[in-house]
Amino acid sequence: MPLMPKRTKFRKTQRGNRGGNAQRGTEVSFGDFGLQSLGRSWMSNRQIEACRISINRFLKRKGKVYIRVFPHKSVTAKPAETRMGKGKGAVDRWVAVIKPGAMIFEIAGVPEADAKEALRLASNKLGFRTRFVERNKLIS
């Protein structure tokens, strides 16, 4: 079952503005380690699922994985070899808008080396640059 909204107010969305940096969701909030975006892109529901599977396969059901992005935006496409005009195409896929600084995945309950490798495998499935980040440790 692919990730997609249960229902939306409108079926088709406009392309929108991809400029700027992520304003919220930029820190490790749930887990101990995270995968943070350094580029901007549309991340499809299939990419999110491929990353989730690669992380879970590597961790072998240890720890907890948090997915911090959700594909709210519909992207339309017209069939191949179709002439111009005759309206906007049907919904083709669902994407999450990723801006620089957005936290994409978080992992809790595993050693740093395992989390780093799992998130590296996930980042290979993406078409933009990412970095491994750790939860801010309070100095006491």
Catalogue all structural domains in the chain, each as residue range(s) with its CATH number: 42-76+91-133 (3.90.1170.10)
- Grade residue 137 by pLDDT with cuts at 50, 70 and 90: low
Tokens (6 digits) for 111: 């050693």
pLDDT digits (tens, 9 = 90+) for 57-71: 999 989 999 999 999
Indicate the pLDDT class of residue 2, thresholds 50, 70 and 90: confident
Tokens 């519909």 correspond to what residue? 74
Question: Is the pLDDT assigned to residue 138 strictly greater than 60?
Answer: no
